A and B are shown apart, each in its own frame.
Chain A
Amino acid sequence: MELVDQSNSPRDIDIEFRGVTKRFEDVVAVDDISLSVERGAFFSFLGPSGCGKTTSLRLIAGFDQPTQGEVFIGGSSVVGIPSHKRPVNMVFQHYALFPHMDVAENIGYGLRQRNPKPAKQEVSKRVDETLELVRLGGYGKRRVWELSGGQQQRVALARALINHPTCLLLDEPLAALDRKLRREMQIELQTLQREVGITFILVTHDQEEALSMSDRICIMRDGHIVQSGSPRELYDEPINRYVADFVGKSNFFGGEVVETNDSCVTVKFDSGQVLTGKQPKQAPGLANGSKASIAVRPEMISIKSADETDTNSSIAIKGRVMNRIFLGEHSEYLVATEGYGDVMVLSPKSIEHSSRIFTPDDRVSISWRPDAALVLGDT
């Protein structure tokens, strides 16, 4: 729209936060956040409820104004600009389709608010095109409440996309759908984003959703950004225990740092035993005596019968199988160990021939490669 002057703005940055704080009376929802989102990226805010992710989205949409700091859209500050003058569109959590309008009227709503108002034929042509884009051709005359959840979701998408926003905001868009439909819509959203080529900003509490769709993820807690990076970076190099716990599954062994040697850190446990691991690149350094956890992803742990000796691995922890859950492509074991608590192990089906299937009470030995263990601070 006319308010965004894109000629003198850096082309590659679409949305930017500079020191943004949002306070609601005495609650700080967003606390001094700075970030930038590249044009055409699929960006996600990920975090538990109350972490400030939805507030951040509402600050971009213009439903709330920052208490401090500035939000930029396409290089221009949008502080004080009301939402109806911003070139972004939102897909709401419960879709917020207008119940007194049919599907076509809902989708054409944004176009009809333009000044000058486009001709009727122009609007209906664009509505039909957009219905095709979200694969709802011929549904224009339906009432919105006659549609299924997935179809309503697509109408909400179409209603936003028809306006060619510079950036599409999605507030937990898939939370109301069932699991199977959610998978389908995740793929559809990704495809759609590549087709229309605009920035998508997603808010979600579902780590799987964020990991599978985004180019970049920003993990939030209590109004702060804990870590942002590509899904792979967050998974492989979490900077602390919170991130490792939020993204994927991990086993944590909590103890105290006793020795630091380059990026190799030794942690001592209450039982007196020690484990070593490496520190992720971006993580803050750990002083001797500080609390830390060794984190090992369940799929990095291999499980063997207790009498099999493993020559490749320096670590071998003895334990007893407590439980096995068959999950199709892999099995999930829970192993009670001596001195390290209960450990979760994911064993892929491809290596699970008959000798490697364990049942509860089997004595086993678990091990991992030294570089699979990460040392993480607790905060």
Chain B
Amino acid sequence: MRIYAIAVFLFLYVPIGIIVLFSFNAGRHASELRGLSVQWYGKALSNPFVGDAFVTSLIVAFSVAILSSLMGTAAALALQRLKGTMRVLFDGLIYISVMIPGIVIGIATLVALVTVFDFLNPLLASIWPEGTKPPKLHMGYVSVIAAHTLFTMSLVIILVRARIAGMDRSLIEASMDLYATPWRTFYQVTLPQIYPAILAGFLLSFTFSFDDFIISFFVAGANTTLPIYIFSSIRRGITPEVNAIGTMVLAVSLILLMTAQFFLRARTNR
């Protein structure tokens, strides 16, 4: 059994290790290692296409993280008050939305949005005042942010729900008993108790959105995110530059995931 376990881990991590190693390759071919250097990192960072894709990815990931942590927290607080069948139904829907494959979300969102746009665009054009150019709805930032948020919001809901469930309900009652209005109770007692989960949800949402290729590929329209850029550039062969970009994405993701884990663990015993 131990041999199998080692084999599995090797199979998983050796390719990743090789990418990291080859990103420091001094030579120009991806297949042979000729001394170590950071020149490809310099190349990657000075490439304007990489820069643009990076900025796009950051904008999308930030918006997704903010939206999903706000809406997810609100939803988690509301769901806590539901009872009976409605609660079972919503719980089920939330878990299902996490399990739906990215490609299904991608295609479904694409089809839904295209249908809505085709319906709304002529309508907007007809009611728009004469002489001005009517707006034309199309795929872009908004569509990719919306699609990512759908998925990541469920993650935030699950994390925050777990935190609320572990929280002593009498703390809220104690606060109300001590003359605090519901709003003051929320930000003086509830929020300090659940913020580690919200923060962890924020970071996980950011990481998910930053790394996502499949959903973005369908609904990003003309915008190129970093994963989409990597995908399109490897069609011209794997270069050490792509390895360097991949390594940077990996490093950012790992740091965020570890921070999220830190927040989830911190103070759970208090």
Contact = CB atoms under 8 A, between A and B. Distances in A.
Interface residues on A, range: 20 to 34
A353 interface: no
A98 interface: yes
B177 A89 contact: yes
A96 B180 contact: no
Interface string A87-99: 0111011101111
Given A110-B179, A113-B179, A145-B270, A98 B184 contact: no
B171 interface: yes
A248 interface: no
Contact of B173 (A85, A88, A96, A114): A96
Given A98-B174, A113-B179, 4 more contacts: A96-B168, A96-B170, A98-B175, A99-B270
A178 B173 CA distance: 26
21 contacts: A1-B179, A61-B173, A61-B177, A63-B176, A63-B177, A82-B176, A84-B178, A84-B181, A84-B182, A85-B179, A90-B173, A90-B174, A94-B168, A96-B174, A99-B270, A100-B193, A109-B175, A109-B180, A113-B178, A159-B178, A160-B177
Nearest to B191: A100
B177 A84 contact: yes
Secondary structure call for the A interface: loop
Contact of A163 (B171, B179, B188): B179
B251 to A, nearest CB: 33
B192 interface: yes
Interface residues of B, number: 20
B71 interface: no
A163 B176 contact: no
B189 interface: yes
A83 interface: yes
Secondary structure call for the B interface: helix
A82 B176 CA distance: 8
Contacts of A99: 193, 270
Contacts, number: 66
Given A94-B168, A96-B168, A100-B192, A163 B174 contact: no
Contacts of A1: 179
A98 B184 CA distance: 14
Contacts of A62: 176-177
Nearest to A156: B174
Interface string A71-82: 000000000001
B170 A94 contact: yes
Contacts of A82: 176
A98 B177 CA distance: 13
A159 B188 CA distance: 16
A98 B181 contact: no
A96 B192 CA distance: 15
Contacts of B193: 99-100
A163 B177 CA distance: 11
Among A94, A113, A163: residue with most chain B CB under 10 A: A113
A62 B177 CA distance: 8
B173 A63 contact: yes
Interface string B145-188: 00000000000000000000000101101111111111011001
Contacts of B189: 98
A1 B192 CA distance: 28
A88 B173 CA distance: 13
Contacts of A63: 173, 176-177
A90 B179 contact: no
